[in-house]
Amino acid sequence: MNTKDLAKKIQYFDDCYRRGEAKISDAEFDELVKQLKERNPNHPAINPEGMKLLSLDNYCFSEWWAEKARNETMIVQPKFDGCALGLRYQSGTLVAAFTRSGKDVTEAARTICNLPLELPEDGIAVSEDPVEIRGELYGPNLSRNKSQALAAGHLRKKNPTGAGLSFVAYEILGSTRDEIEDIKKLESWFFEIPPTNRTADPRQVKRWHKEWLAGELFENLPCDGLVIKVNSGEVKGKLGVNSKIPNWALALR
């Protein structure tokens, strides 16, 4: 299979997943992405316009904590089930929006009622350097599958309206600040932010995970797990990222 066909295959399977009609397992999809990455690390299918939306690893929490988060404050948030979006602001104005696969969905993003088209005039937002924000387009008060299907359908429409959808922001790409600082900054820019718990106790994280599995935590949100992050910007910088995932975060399902 040549590189062009491989990229098309990845796009097809990603579109199916976003419609709630997954055709292959996560492991099989990750293997296809790995193959494309080996051929072309900067292919638009995995690195759109320099706005790289990383996935999250999903392995044993105890191992991750012991290796990367011991004695660190951790941030715990719901893992929203919708469509990941990367937003780019230039001098405080929204100029681009991309899906994980690199599709330009700027006009569709502009229709989302709670997504700011302009950022307040503070030093960061109006600097000459672009500000890039990662978040999720989702359907409030919907099931996971319906949330994902509604978001994916909106992004495919020729004349999208944004009806029934919201955008939640949870990361300022390239930031070196602590997670809590960035969440507060996003809130000050009038983004919806996710419910955010924090603890340095791995046992508390496991308790929250059990509560989520029992439908007792974030039960009103369409989410398919928890996101665990290291809070410290300094530690995040040391842990870094590999070709596909940030080493300072993981997903618990």
pLDDT band at 10, cuts 50/70/90? confident
pTM for the whole structure: 0.79
State whether 78 and 27 are in the same domain. no
State whether 83 and 155 are in the same domain. yes
pLDDT in tens, 167-221: 999 999 989 999 999 999 999 999 999 999 999 999 999 999 999 999 999 999 9
CB 61 within 8 A of CB 252: yes
Mean pLDDT to the nearest integer, 148-171: 94
Select the more confidently predicted residue: 105 or 10: 105
Domain of 34 in residue numbering reads as 3-46
12-26, 143-157, 186-200, 229-243: which range is least confident on average?
12-26
Exposed/middle/buried for residue 211 (C-beta within 10 Å: 0-12, 13-18, 19+): middle
**Res 1: pLDDT:** 81
How far apart are the C-alpha atoms of 157 and 169, rounded to whole Å? Answer: 23
CATH number of the domain at 150, please. Answer: 3.30.470.30
How far apart are the C-alpha atoms of 108 and 62, rounded to whole Å? Answer: 40
State whether 39 and 143 are in the same domain. no
48-62, 96-110, 207-221: which range is least confident on average?
48-62
Residue 241 DSSP SS3 = strand
For the cut 50, the answer to whether the pLDDT of residue 50 exceeds it is no
Give me the number of domains the chain comprises.
2
In this structure, is residue 186 part of a structural domain?
Answer: yes
